[in-house]
Structure 1
Amino acid sequence: MTEYSHVEMIAFTGSRVLEDETIVFVGTGLPIVSAVHAQYTHAPGLLMIYEAGSLAPILDMGMPLSVGDTRAARRATFLKGLCGAFELTQRGYADYAFIGGAQIDMYGNVCSTLQGEEYGKPRVRFPGSGGAGAMAANCERTIAIMALEKRRFVKQLDFVTSIGFGDGSPDYREKAGVMGSGPYRVITNQALFGFDEETRRMKLLEVKPGVTPEDVQELVEFELIIPDDVKEMAEPTEEDLRLLREIDSEGYFLKRQFKK
């Protein structure tokens, strides 16, 4: 097995959870890498929406470095600007929202705004929602990616940027006036998570080879649901890694570093 980085594992797993003949609203960075890899492998009919307003571009001029990169408009079937992109989600034309974040709680609510108790004087100011807040509210299912660290998987968010299942009550999203079924997967370097249908709490689905469910729980502030049938995460093959590195040939996203 060829060696791979933690970031490459996230990108590969992101590709793996995407399905053929669906539409994914991608955020900048690893979601784009994952979606392109999925198109090249098991999901040739996967279509991408970019926040700047394009649907299903042909990426024959290289990988877009942001959702506003002009390469993301190349030969698109739909190109009507930012408002047009979000109108597509409101009309039900997005199966997945693929977003990042700085913090996530047990109900899949995501913070990408700040860290700290005071909004005006945060300890850390993050980039903010971008389009992630609207994507999580309107797309059918939300996929989030982040490193598996206790400071990220928290009991209480410092700020709710992108709505998940709220407080976990069955009708929370309906009362909040948002669409879609909510959080679907959380992808990390060491584990893949889903959500329990009844309680809406985060559930451990897969762990990286050599990692135990107990190891994962140690890196999460809240109590996970850990079923008896937790699986091993699939690892990228040499061909998968070749494709990933070809897609992001300059290493803009795949060469980023973070804690294990």
Structure 2
Amino acid sequence: MTIADEKKALICFIANLLKDCRHVAVGASSPIPGAAALLGKAAWNAPSHVNILGSTQHNFFTNGSVELFDCAAQGRIDAFFLGGGEIDGQANINLMGMGDYPNNAPRWPGTFGSAYLYYLVPKVILFREEHTRRVLVDKVNFISSPGTSEDNIYRTGGPYGLLTNKAFFRFDREARKFRLQSIHPSSSLEDILDNTGFEFDYSKDTPITPAPDAGLLNILETEVREKVREVYPQFAESVFAPTA
């Protein structure tokens, strides 16, 4: 499987995770989640509303991130995506950098509204293609956004799962830990155990992630590709074959 094929498989996988969503918002630097939201809308109109920050055609917000935050507070966003330079076993994410804050080295882009959205959006999917112990750590250096909160803290949102280029984990909010749900065909249980820095629950019989449906891939390659190109042109150039 080529790198482009792996990315298409991730897009199809995420699209299936969004079938129960009505409104999905995506950040400006999230081409795979953005493509997945557009694919879900095209394939089965779920989500029926997609907002991709930075897009002119697929973004009905008129006030940018301010309106995004307002919608989240009103309970009008069903799913959002977060990543991080580090993600730990309690679904905490680090977007600040390594070392002691505020003198982080290296310094990453920063938290922006991630903590706010993590508390309010009911289905936050953590997505990071790289699956290494450098990224998936036992404990993050800095908590930009906590994965869990005490019972007396008002919180309607939180982590649904973690998707990487090797596997998909669901997050158990009661146990406050991840459980391995499926292993991508290019990986193995041994590979995942070797490259994950936090402890997680798993079964020795964890299933292999199903291959993407051919019909869904066809919709991605035909109807959705130009929509993706509008907001993520470099990504589209690297993933989709040139048009005739």
Partner of residue 208 from structure 2, selected from 228, 232, 238: 232
Task: Please state how far the C-alpha of 1:2 moved relative to its aligned partner.
Answer: 8.2
- Whether the 8 Å contact between 1:20 and 1:43 is mirrored in structure 2 is no
Amino acid at match of 2:57: R
Question: How far, CA to CA, are the matches of 1:49 and 1:162 in structure 2?
Answer: 22
Match of 1:144 among 102, 108, 126: 126
* Unpaired segments ≥5 residues, structure 1: 51-66, 166-171
State the alpha-carbon separation in 2 of the partners of residues 109 and 216 from structure 1.
Answer: 19
Superposition misfits of 4+ residues, deviation over 6 angstroms? none
Q: Secondary structure at the match of 2:210?
A: coil
- Matched position secondary structure for 1:31: helix
Whole-angstrom CA distance in 2 between matches of 1:8 and 1:229: 26
Give CA deviations for 1:120-163 in whole Å, capped at 9, x if unaligned: 33222111223322211211121011021111100111111122
* CA shift in 2, pair 1:45/1:32, >3 Å: closer
Q: Relative to 1, partners in 2 of residues 1:70 and 1:233: Cα closer, same or farther, differing over 3 Å? A: same
Q: 1:208 aligns with which of 184, 188, 191?
A: 184
Structure 2 residue ranges without an equivalent (≥5): 240-244
Tell me, yes or no, if structure 1 residue 70 matches structure 2 residue 18: no
Distance apart, 1:202 and its partner CA: 1.0
Q: Distance in 2 between matches of 1:206 and 1:125?
A: 33
Give the CA deviation at 1:81. 4.2
TM-score (norm 1): 0.76
1:62-141 alignment runs, 5 A limit: 67-73=53-59, 76=60, 79-114=62-97, 116-141=98-123
In the alignment, residue 115 of structure 2 is paired with which amino acid?
Answer: G
What's the CA shift for 1:27? Answer: 1.8
Matched length: 229
TM-superposed CA distance for 1:207, in Å, is: 0.3
Task: Specify the alignment match of 1:38 in structure 2.
Answer: 40
If each structure's helix is expressed as a fraction of its own residues, which one has the higher value?
Answer: 2
Tell me the SS of whatever aligns to 1:231: coil
Residue 33 of structure 1: CA displacement? 1.1
| Deviations 1:146-197, CA, capped at 9 Å, x for gaps | 02111110011111112212xxxxxx2544x452242101111110011234
Deviates more, 1:151-160 or 1:117-126: 117-126
- Residue 209 of structure 1 deviates from its aligned partner by 1.8
